[in-house]
Amino acid sequence: MVKKKRNIFLFIFLILILIAGGGYYYINSILSSGFDIDKTVYIYIDESKNYDAVLTQIDTSAHVQNREGFKQLASYMKYPESIKTGRYAITPDMNIRQAIRMLQLGQQSPVRLTFNNIRLKKDLAKRISEQLMLDESELIAVLNSPQKALEYGFTEETFGAMFIPNTYETYWDTSAENFLKRMKSEYNRFWTEERKKKASAQGLTPVEVSILASIVEEECYFADEYPTVAGLYLNRLKRGQLLQADPTVKYAVGDFSLQRVLNRHLEVDSPYNTYKYQGLPPGPIRIPSIKGIDAVLNPADHSYLYMCAKEDFSGRHNFAVTHAEHERNAARYRKALNERRIFR
């Protein structure tokens, strides 16, 4: 009888060991499972914090080895109740416990935000929203807000000057307000004492430098002409002459595709029409690049007052000191336009 009881206890003990061993093996198989990837992939979680959407990305993008195991462990770790927005890196050597912990703690991987060759604020909003979680329409509203511009030391017209085209490291889920704060911080960092002194030497404020740089960039197809064109417009400003910059007229009429600026375009009544109004327009006509800004700060030293597109349509310009010389250049260009039947 005693022997029989001993055998029963031994049997039960063995069963418990097997259960424990099986449980340990099962749990360990979950904890040690990872992802079938050979390079880092990224999981994006937006403001909806949709757990099913997260699972779909874990499955289809990160190729999790044990989807059910991931769900069970995530539930045990209470991840579905603590989802955080952001962009998260899943690496080949990561197991699911590490991945869930990273997601739960909101340990994001930053993005490299890049913007350049931006004309209008709506173009900036589109470019930024393509790279961050920010809503395009929300960002446009912020960029067009006079109150928000004033809050950062600008006007509605000059607000675009605060955004220095470059590549910045930031978080994908940054808010519109934090984005603006970051851009103002980068603007302040960009405008060093040296650059401010150079602007002052040209009789310009940093914002005015950006306005002129925007005209220079719209005028030039080739960046190596920036310093020459910048010097030309600075010569005009110092003499009190009208800038007479065609790109400002195109901006005023709202048509940058114009190949030929006609007299009727020159009559448009807009503060951006530099054929009618002296000095710089109220704001930049595009968001100028660092190269454009530095060209205004370091202009070519010459006596040019006039410029005209070359008649070979190379995208370059003929420069002139006198109006008579300019008229000869302009006549050749008009002739070339007529020969190509370009009337607008």
Whole-number Å distance between alpha carbons of 73 and 155: 52
Cβ pair 204, 212 in contact under 8 A: yes
When pLDDT is cut at 50, 70 and 90, the band that residue 341 belongs to is: confident
So what's the pLDDT on residue 20? 41
CA angle, residues 57, 60, 63, in degrees to nearest 5: 100
Cβ pair 105, 89 in contact under 8 A: no
Per DSSP bridges, beta strands 86-90 and 41-45 are antiparallel
More confident residue, 28 or 344: 344
Q: Over the stretch 291-330, which tens digit does the pLDDT of each residue have?
A: 999 999 999 999 999 999 898 888 899 999 999 999 999 8
When pLDDT is cut at 50, 70 and 90, the band that residue 22 belongs to is: very low
* Three-state DSSP state, 102: helix
State whether the Cα torsion 331-333-339-344 is positive or negative: negative
The pLDDT mean for the chain works out to 91
Whole-number Å distance between alpha carbons of 230 and 299: 6
Of the listed ranges 15-24, 25-34, 186-195, the least confidently predicted one is: 15-24
Structural domain spans, the chain: 36-109, 112-190, 193-339
CATH number of the 36-109 domain: 3.30.1490.480
**Mean pLDDT, to the nearest integer, of 163-179?**
97
Q: Give this prediction's pTM.
A: 0.86
Residue 9 clears pLDDT 90, i.e. is over it: no
Residue 264 clears pLDDT 60, i.e. is over it: yes
Residue 190 clears pLDDT 80, i.e. is over it: yes
**Mean pLDDT, to the nearest integer, of 190-212?**
98
Q: Over the stretch 116-125, which tens digit does the pLDDT of each residue have?
A: 999 999 999 9
Q: Over the stretch 71-91, which tens digit does the pLDDT of each residue have?
A: 999 999 999 999 999 999 999
Q: Over the stretch 232-260, which tens digit does the pLDDT of each residue have?
A: 999 999 999 999 999 999 999 999 888 88
